[in-house]
Amino acid sequence: MSSSSAPSGVSNKVNVTGRGIPRKCRCGRFSVMRISNTMKNPGRLFRCCPNGSDENPNHLFKWTNISKVEEMKEVESVVDKIEREVGSLAKGLYEVEAIKEIAETCEKDIVELKGVVSSCEKEIQELRSFKNMIVCGGLVVAFVYYVIFV
């Protein structure tokens, strides 16, 4: 992608940030683990390129404890991100619960309103039958009037 010498593969991804344990040198060779035997750093672990040497600083060299600390920091930042996301998910869940409660209240209101509507319908039907009775009574009176006076 950007580097001219690094071959494609996992190493590109690992070396993008330059953090953590380096898998490959920019020359393309896989890194190897060694133990320092210098007076300054006796027994200290490091990873380096097999092509590298004291005279050629262009190849990979990295102390393992520094790589480990960097990896720990990466992991910590990922954990922080996950914690934040879990927190916002929990908040979302709380909101969903609140909406559920509102919906349940609305359902109760709807049931009550249905009851009111059905009792109104009954009243309307009663009024209709009462009206029919009046109409029938009127017809009977009209018939009787017709029979007697016409």
Stretch that binds Zn ion, among 3-11, 12-20, 57-65, 124-132 (CB under 5 A): 57-65
Whether 32 contacts 50, CB under 8 Å: yes
Query: What CA–CA distance (Å, rounded) separates 137 from 150?
Result: 19
Q: What is the CA radius of gyration of the chain?
A: 44
Beta-bridge mates of residue 24: 30
Give the one residue of 6, 27, 44, 70 binding Zn ion; rule: CB under 5 A: 27
The helix (H) or strand (E) run that includes residue 149 is: helix 64-149
Residue 53 binds Zn ion (CB under 5 A):
no
The nearest distance, CB 51 to Zn ion, in angstroms, is: 4
The nearest distance, CB 36 to Zn ion, in angstroms, is: 18
Q: What is the distance, to the nearest Å, from the Cα of residue 49 to the centroid of all Cα atoms in its chain?
A: 42
Stretch that binds Zn ion, among 50-58, 111-119, 124-132, 133-141 (CB under 5 A): 50-58
Give the one residue of 59, 61, 63, 70 binding Zn ion; rule: CB under 5 A: 59
Footprint on this chain of Zn ion (rule: CB under 5 A): 25, 27, 49, 51, 59
